Amino acid sequence: FNGLRYDIWNGVTVIAFCAVLYNISLLFMSRYSVSTWYISRTIEVVSKLTVMVIFMCHIFSALRVTKNIAHRDPLTNIFNRNYFFNELTVQSASAKKTPYCVMIMDIDHFKKVNDTWGHPVGDQVIKTVVNIIGKSIRPDDLLARVGGEEFGVLLTDIDTERAKALAERIRENVERLTGDNPEYAIPQKVTISIGAVVTQENALNPNEIYRLADNALYEAKETGRNKVVVRDVVNFCESP
């Protein structure tokens, strides 16, 4: 894209230079035809329109980049906390009665990873876990970094049993694929704890939904870590 942009600017420069030379040549003509005048004006208009189009493209490109930065986590390039809560607000306010799920995941003993191996390795662990989670969820599920070593997933059109199975798959994949694995090259095995809530009720506001998921995560960590706790608005189920 950058190469094309520079080529376009070079072309515009040539057109504008030709327009200037053509207009200067008209000054030294005692007489010239209407067609000559139209050619001069056409070159001038084309060069100006081209510049305007390029400027507009630059503006829209800058806006897209700014919007992307505002919604993305700089380390992992997944969505950030603000975007996650915006989407959760939209989902919780939806008039549809289809079930949806909020999962909150936390890397177990992450402080020990940082203290033992340093923050660069800690960052690599975060990116590795994000990569594994991203490959474990469905294409339409929304993954975000909602805290330092904490991640959220928003899943639509899913019931409690399927949410539990998906959470277990994520947990198992993280445990299985980290450690002695040349694909990710992190020095130790990593596990995560997952808390989730499944609801159909649009009466719950986003903060209440998130609090329920966070409470489920807290229970998973307090009862041994490397486990999944899934709740719905009425029932409770636990996976060891």
Asked about 149 being catalytic, the answer comes back as: yes
Which residue is catalytic, options 87, 149, 161, 201?
A: 149
Show the tokens assigned to 66: 């700014």
Span 57-87, pLDDT tens digits: 777 777 777 766 789 999 999 999 999 999 9
* d(C-alpha 125, C-alpha 155), whole Å: 24
For residue 240, the Cα-to-chain-centroid distance in whole angstroms is 31
> What's the confidence (pLDDT) of residue 134?
97
Short-list 117, 104, 220, 188, CA closest to 153 = 104
> What's the confidence (pLDDT) of residue 234?
52
What is the pTM assigned to this prediction?
Answer: 0.73
Between the alpha carbon of residue 213 and those of residues 11, 78, 101, 196, 199, the distances in Å are: 57, 20, 9, 5, 11
